[in-house]
């Protein structure tokens, strides 16, 4: 018998129970071949004495190892390593704790297009990509509604499996809300609940985009959208964007040359420039989609925040032939942490997408979905959006005035009609990457704009989000930005 007391070490300060540490060490010794099949193991009494542990701890570990098939007992003979285990050549002992290898034991393809830095929230000052301020969110109302939906009603139904399309109550409330606020003409059957726009786009590409399909994007676009289509194997075609949104005439030229499958648009507040797609172009885009039978994926990420007058209705409101797949979420309305979004489309499309949704996410967070449905029904979210709109307009005006006063010679911009960020162009003499690095050292985060640069030219521009910062925070942000250039 091997001297197990020298091979098994326990850490009494660890949160892992001692008996579990012993089990894991025995399994490791067997797996590397130090303990061989059929080898006799010292008694629980002897090992407990050598390790200075209670015998019951060792007994529990042995019993579990026997149940798992690593050890076996022979009457009147003792405990042995199970005889039916495969023969393993002894390797160098591995000291506890054993960590999972960093490298996989199998081959797989790594797509460079998927490798992208993850931006995380932190407590420094920030001029982000255009996120809402969660301090304004109706969190107490949401907590009340969530708790109520969690503890009241039929628990078997509420806490069991539900519709793969999402909470029917939320889909009903969303249909009413979108009909009233966006001029849509839909029912609950036209709505699919998703975790957010990213999930909706993934479902779209999985269900409708094949390798080699032609997908059209604005020459400057949301990087996550482009990555989704590239990952699906689509061929990307680009069209320019000007002060009136995407140039639809350029799209028409592409339609005459290629069988376009889909176009991705942010018609209300173009990403990243924030400009609005004008009415004449909207009409022509819908006519082209009808004529050439391609899909319009309309990402309406911040429709509720428009400051000039009543905003233009989405393309989906004028879609008479079923070519628009309309996407929105509460991520940009309330907070990124609340992963509830929606897709709106003809019933046939929603049914088809629900089949695909089921194989990646059986259903969403029913409690959260019902809680949001309750707040929509009560008008709480609508009231919050009206209050936020006033607050964000004030912050936009203050921020733009600050930029004009403090950085008149360094930046240029158009005051955005809506949204939560300012598309800001820096003077060509300014190194925007270095400026962003300096700002971060000084306690301010903002994007260095590299993701918005085009292949043939560096725009030296970025989005500076104002909505998530209070007035006094915006003052500090601009001071640090000026100092960091």
pTM recorded for the entire structure: 0.78
Look at residue 265 in the predicted model and tell me its pLDDT.
Answer: 95
Which pLDDT score is estimated for 120? 64
Q: Which of 210, 261, 252, 253 is nearest to 231 (CA)?
A: 210
Contacts of 376 (CB under 8 A, 6+ apart): 170, 173, 174, 176, 177, 382
Rounded average pLDDT per 10-residue block, the chain, 485 residues: 72 88 88 85 87 90 90 86 76 55 78 71 80 89 86 73 86 94 93 91 93 94 89 93 91 95 92 89 94 94 82 88 92 78 94 91 83 92 91 95 94 91 93 93 90 78 93 95 93
Q: What pLDDT, on the 0 to 100 scale, is given for residue 188?
A: 95
> Which class does domain 125-129+388-484 fall in?
alpha beta
* Torsion 348-350-351-355 (CA) sign: positive
Pick the CATH number of 4-81 from 1.10.10.10, 3.90.550.10, 3.90.76.10, 3.30.70.120: 1.10.10.10
CB of 32 closer than 8 Å to CB of 93 = yes
CATH architecture of 136-382: 3-Layer(aba) Sandwich (3.40)
Whole-number pLDDT of residue 95: 53
pLDDT on residue 5: 66
Residue ranges in 183-301 assigned as alpha helix (H): 197-208, 223-231, 248-257, 279-292
CA distance 26 to 35: 8
DSSP 429-446: TS-HHHHHHHHHHTTEEE
Domain limits, the chain: 4-81, 125-129+388-484, 136-382
Give, as one character, the DSSP assignment of residue 204: H
pLDDT 10s digits, 307-362? 887 778 899 999 999 999 999 988 777 777 778 899 999 999 999 999 998 888 87
Q: Chain centroid to CA 317: how far?
A: 27
For residue 89, the model assigns a pLDDT of: 62
Q: Identify which of 145, 170, 127 has the alpha carbon closest to the alpha carbon of residue 330.
A: 170
């Amino acid at each position: 018998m091997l001297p197990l007391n020298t091979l098994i070490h326990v850490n009494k300060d660890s949160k892992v129970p001692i008996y579990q540490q012993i089990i894991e060490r025995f399994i490791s010794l067997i797996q590397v071949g130090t303990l061989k099949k059929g080898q006799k193991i010292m008694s629980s009494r002897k090992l407990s004495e050598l390790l200075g542990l209670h015998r019951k701890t060792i007994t529990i570990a042995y019993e579990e190892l026997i149940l798992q098939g690593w050890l076996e007992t022979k009457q009147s003979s003792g405990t042995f390593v199970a005889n039916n285990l495969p023969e393993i050549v002894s390797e160098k002992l591995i000291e506890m704790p054993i960590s999972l290898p960093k490298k996989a034991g199998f081959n797989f393809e790594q797509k460079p297009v998927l490798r992208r830095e993850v931006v995380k929230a932190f407590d420094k000052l920030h001029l982000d990509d255009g996120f809402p301020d969660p301090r304004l969110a109706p969190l107490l109302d949401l907590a009340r509604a969530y708790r109520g939906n969690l503890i009241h009603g039929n628990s078997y139904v509420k806490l069991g499996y539900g519709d793969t399309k999402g909470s029917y109550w939320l889909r009903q409330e969303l249909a009413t809300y979108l009909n009233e606020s966006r001029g849509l003409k839909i029912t609950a059957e036209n709505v699919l609940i998703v975790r957010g726009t990213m999930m909706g786009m993934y479902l779209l590409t999985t269900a409708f985009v094949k390798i080699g399909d032609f997908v059209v994007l604005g020459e400057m676009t949301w990087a996550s959208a482009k990555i989704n289509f590239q990952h699906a194997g689509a061929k990307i075609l680009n069209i320019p964007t000007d002060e009136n949104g995407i140039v639809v005439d350029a799209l028409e030229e592409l339609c005459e040359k290629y069988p376009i499958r889909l176009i991705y648009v942010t018609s209300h507040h173009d990403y990243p420039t924030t400009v609005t797609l004008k009415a004449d172009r909207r009409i022509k885009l819908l006519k082209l989609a009808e004529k050439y039978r391609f899909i319009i994926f309309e990402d309406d990420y911040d429709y509720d925040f428009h400051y000039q007058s009543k905003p233009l209705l989405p393309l989906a409101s004028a879609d008479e032939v079923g070519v628009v797949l309309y996407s929105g979420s509460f991520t940009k309305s309330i907070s990124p942490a609340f992963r509830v979004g929606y897709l709106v489309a003809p019933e046939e499309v929603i049914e088809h997408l629900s089949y695909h949704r089921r194989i990646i996410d059986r259903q969403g967070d029913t409690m959260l979905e019902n809680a949001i449905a309750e707040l929509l029904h009560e008008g709480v979210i609508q009231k919050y959006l009206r209050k936020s709109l006033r607050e964000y307009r004030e912050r936009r005006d203050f921020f733009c005035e600050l930029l004009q006063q403090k950085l008149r010679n360094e930046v240029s911009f158009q005051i955005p009609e809506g949204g939560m960020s300012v598309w800001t162009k820096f003077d060509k003499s300014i190194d925007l990457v270095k400026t962003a690095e300096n700002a971060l050292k000084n306690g301010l985060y903002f994007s260095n704009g590299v993701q918005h640069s085009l292949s043939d030219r560096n725009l030296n521009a970025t989005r500076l989000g104002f909505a998530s910062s209070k007035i006094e925070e915006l003052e500090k942000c601009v001071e640090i930005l000026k100092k960091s250039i």
